[in-house]
Structure 1
């Protein structure tokens, strides 16, 4: 999942917004130095990624890619999930995406200095530019993918996906409609299990 989906799943599971985004910005050895609620958010992020990657339709999506290298297809799928989540935001939420910023940004700003500067730049960008809603447009997805291409040493392998984005966006709605509800259900179940264990240990 990409940024918006991770934040949305943190909201639904009442898990740390900061933890939901920090997972990709800290080493395993750093996680245990963070506050417990952020650690739980990081663990949720990891659970979400594992659940998404193992879903049969995700496996099929990666396997059917003849453009670029299949091992990089997961990065593109993450962006596609955010594209459709923006498009279908009202189906999953009773507040607007603009209102959602008011929920998650204070937490991100409060904890932004606890991991590497790249995460701080992400939080600053989210706060100043409010670009998550742009991920619901072809131009927004193109910009997000090109940012990865330019900043990542393996970015050139994503160029074929960039060129095929119009087709991928059009053809991925069925993928989103099947996979995202399944991930939501798994997260809800995981949250209930975690809450039960927490209460049992009190």
Structure 2
């Protein structure tokens, strides 16, 4: 799952949200330097990613990108899933609902900017100013996300095949998301509550 899904699957908890969003920027034992609930957000992010990556529907969805992108196919599916979440009407009934959610998320994160990893803080500036979370709703926004993924990847050079694959298999990928969404939402909600019910700082 990508940024929109991790924000949504924080279920309105500010500290869980921060941990969920910064997890990829926190390496090794640095996770234990964060406040306990933020740390649990980091753990939630990693549990969500593991659940997503190993889910049979995700494996099926990744197959359409594998020929062109091999090990990066999962990264493209993360972006694809955010697009279908952005247009999922039980999550976001319309454009305004998603826009309001994006602005609320930025405000929740802004309040905690002092403890963000510096690399995430730099990226957050662009996320907020360009409204990435809302951008996932539009096809140009998804194409731009594919381009950003390619620019950050060490061994990728062109996002054009990804755009063509996405357009060609749009209905199939949407069906995969629809099949997957309730599973990940149920898993994440229960995992978050399990983490929050444990007063210990849990190991990874």
Question: Structure 1 residues 198 and 2 mapped into 2: Cα distance closer, same or farther (>3 Å)?
Answer: same
- Indicate the structure with greater helix content: 1
Report the CA distance between 1:21 and its aligned residue.
0.9
C-alpha distance in 1, partners of 2:176/2:51?
A: 14
- The C-alpha deviation readout for 1:7-35, integer Å capped at 9, x for no partner, is 00002677621111101112122111111
Which residue number corresponds to residue 82 of structure 1? Answer: 82
Report the CA distance between 1:141 and its aligned residue.
0.7
Which residue number corresponds to residue 91 of structure 2? Answer: 92
The number of equivalent residue pairs is 198
Which residue number corresponds to residue 39 of structure 2? Answer: 39
Question: Structure 1 residues 62 and 102 mapped into 2: Cα distance closer, same or farther (>3 Å)?
Answer: closer
Which residue number corresponds to residue 134 of structure 1? Answer: 135
C-alpha distance in 1, partners of 2:61/2:165?
A: 14
Which residue number corresponds to residue 198 of structure 2? Answer: 197
* Residue ranges of structure 2 left out of the alignment (5+ in a row): none
C-alpha distance in 1, partners of 2:194/2:11?
A: 17
The 3-state SS of whatever aligns with 1:91 is coil
TM-score, structure 1 normalization: 0.85
Which residue number corresponds to residue 150 of structure 1? Answer: 151
Which residue number corresponds to residue 54 of structure 2? Answer: 54
The 3-state SS of whatever aligns with 2:33 is coil
Which residue number corresponds to residue 103 of structure 1? Answer: 104
* Residue ranges of structure 1 left out of the alignment (5+ in a row): none
- The C-alpha deviation readout for 1:78-134, integer Å capped at 9, x for no partner, is 01111101111x312578122213432223223335344331122112322223222
Moved more, 121-130 or 50-59: 121-130
Question: Structure 1 residues 168 and 120 mapped into 2: Cα distance closer, same or farther (>3 Å)?
Answer: farther
C-alpha distance in 2, partners of 1:41/1:135?
A: 22
Q: CA RMSD in A?
A: 2.5
Contact 1:72 1:158 in 2 (8 A): no
Which residue number corresponds to residue 118 of structure 2? Answer: 117
Question: Structure 1 residues 52 and 114 mapped into 2: Cα distance closer, same or farther (>3 Å)?
Answer: same
